[in-house]
Amino acid sequence: MKRNMLLTLIACIAVSAVAEGNNPFGDKRITTWGDQGNGTYVNPILNADYSDPDAIRVGDKYYMVASDFHFMGMQVLESEDLVNWTLISKVYDRIDFPEYEKNERYAGGSWAPALRYHNGKFYVYFCTPKEGLFMSEATDPRGPWTPLHNVVNVAGWEDPCPFWDEDGQAYLGRSKVGAGPIIIHKMSEDGRTLLDEGVTVYTGPVAEGTKIHKHEGYYYLSIPEGGVERGWQTILRSKNIYGPYEKKVVLEKGMTDINGPHQGSIVDTPEGEWWFLHFQQYNSIGRVVHLQPMHWRDGWPVIGVDQDMNGIGEPVLTWRKPDWKQGLGKLPVHSDEFSTSELGLQWQFNHNPVDGEWSLTEKKGWLTLNALQSDAFWFAKNSITQKSMGYQGEFTVKMDFSELIDGNHAGLACMGRINHQIGVRKVNGKVHVYMGNDFENIKISEPVKGKTIYLKLHLDGISQNYSFSYSTDNKTFIPFGDSFEMNFGHWKGVRPALFCYNTEAKGGKVHFDWARYDILEHKIVTF
């Protein structure tokens, strides 16, 4: 217990140091999370919703993918030190099934992907719960990635991982929706075809998230068990890929407050060190990424620190960095001036985009969203969104609503289990600021004049209370409506979104000049 309290104290001191040492805005805006600038890091290293992370090393660089569910499409991240990550590409832009065209696959889409490198190619595999197993490949992780290949069109599969053995034989491990059992298939060398019905190699308590490794003659299956909030990390090993497998629990919550430390990836460094990446579900933010030290003992991974001396590791809050590069601290991109011909990589469409109904060139320097017919935000096309960043923050947009027509709703949404919106609506030729959710319009202003408005979302993932405000001059912001509670929902954390739709018929449009995200420092470490 004393050791854990010491680690917590160190983490709190480190967080305070990064705010004062790297940030010209004092205790307000921050530019890094885990990296403390002194050769140490604090968890989470990625304080955003990158659930079910899988990472690999190729040469001296690290690459990561994570579940994106119904948001398009899977982001690829790159790092030089396993602590600081940047977005470099997306694997796909759409999933070509009718339900993704109609916004009817909330909580569907990509579940627990695996990223691997084999014979000069990068491979990504994932399952959707209704449509089956998909894969894509690229010679460069920055893309282009090949169009999604539906390896097997089947319902009820999840969490696949490919593996190429030393003799060239390829395999694929996976589980079933509902978690377990663990099944291994033979696969064609090109990774595009399964060659058999699979062999069940393990049945355990909510076993899922299979990752296959080989080390010093043993096959290792790294699997999370027990569920997200109360689970642990299990390692299975065997001299034969089909087993029988020995079992060892290698990471658990133990004396810490880090719930469900599991579902991740084992990675080595060029220097021969080993590390483990996993997620923790934290409030409305979602599933944030932690980094744990790892080493081998008697042929088994040892992850974290065994604080209670029961033979099972526990997650650390702070540790030395795998590779300290002075001044490397950075965050994934999160603001956009819409000044280029491409959207920033942080943006993801809610379900499939409608090409031709949004533009970065129609009004140069602005993002244009055309209004398609929808009865509500839930089904609205062309809504673009990004992950919430950190414990607290402010997300602000500048919007030109001069081309709205009757029936239009446009503005800034806060997406979660229940979605909330602030925006403008046009009724009988008059424009009003409104606040609403999935069920009702909560507040409507008197008619507003002009053509430009500034909308702001205040995010607080600690209290899970969120609020809106607006301004006509970007100086004085007027709180609008009461604060509202946001919760994790549809397997995803809370996120801001830009939208424009028409409840009457297709028509009208809105323009966004910029979207700026100020990530605020948290004063305490809350694990």
Domain range summary for the chain, segments of one domain joined by +: 44-320, 348-520
Residue 313, beta-bridge partner list? 251
Identify the pLDDT of residue 230.
84
List pLDDT tens digits, range 481-522: 999 999 999 999 999 999 999 999 999 999 999 999 999 865
Whether 208 is a known active-site residue: answer: yes
* pLDDT score of 15: 40
Q: Which of 99, 158, 159, 208 is catalytic?
A: 208
Give pLDDT, residue 26: 37
Residues 44-320: name the CATH superfamily: Glycosyl hydrolase domain; family 43 (2.115.10.20)
Task: State residue 2's pLDDT score.
Answer: 38
CATH code of 348-520, in short, is 2.60.120.200
308 is catalytic: no
Per-residue tokens: 239:
């001299």
Q: CB under 8 Å to 9, separation ≥6 — which residues?
A: none
Q: Which of 35, 49, 52, 159 is catalytic?
A: 52
Cβ–Cβ under 8 Å, residues 255 and 1: yes
Count Cβ atoms below 10 Å from residue 172 Cβ, excluding itself: 26
Q: Give the integer Cα–Cα distance in Å for 41 and 29.
A: 19
Average pLDDT taken over every residue of the chain:
91
Where the chain has pLDDT below 50, the residues are 1-27, 523-527
Cα–Cα distance measured from residue 78 to residue 330, given in angstroms and rounded to the nearest whole number: 12
**Predicted local confidence at residue 439, as pLDDT:** 84
